[in-house]
């Protein structure tokens, strides 16, 4: 397997990748590896860029009516004995 390993200043990468502040303006190691099957990393073909509805098939429609106050009830159940 071919790969590339290089040490460079992170400022050279600022136009390529967003780095956290603690990695900026210092020497970093870059390792480039092939990803193999690129189909695993392709974006879905849907026009939406959100996860909304992605788990809709697992929804339990009988329980959705309880979602509105589920967090409040859970906290109340947990802490009402205090």
Q: Where is average pLDDT lowest: 7-16, 20-29, 61-70?
A: 61-70
Looking at residue 29, its pLDDT comes to 94
pLDDT in tens, 21-36: 899 999 999 999 988 7
pTM over 0.95: no
Cβ contacts of 17 within 8 Å, gap of 6 or more: none
Cα gap 13→2, rounded to integer Å: 22
pLDDT in tens, 33-51: 988 776 666 655 555 556 7
Which stretch of DSSP H or E encloses residue 76? helix 70-79
Q: Is 53's pLDDT higher than 60? A: yes
Q: How many CA atoms, within 13 angstroms, populate the side-chain half-sphere of residue 42?
A: 7
């Amino acid at each position: 397997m071919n790969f590339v390993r290089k040490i460079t200043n992170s400022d050279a990468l600022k136009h390529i990748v967003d780095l956290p502040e603690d990695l900026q303006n210092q020497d970093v190691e870059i390792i480039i590896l092939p990803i193999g099957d690129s189909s695993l990393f392709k974006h879905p073909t849907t026009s939406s860029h959100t996860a909304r509805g992605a788990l809709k098939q697992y929804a339990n429609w009988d329980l959705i009516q309880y979602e509105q106050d589920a967090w409040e009830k859970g906290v109340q159940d947990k802490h009402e004995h205090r």
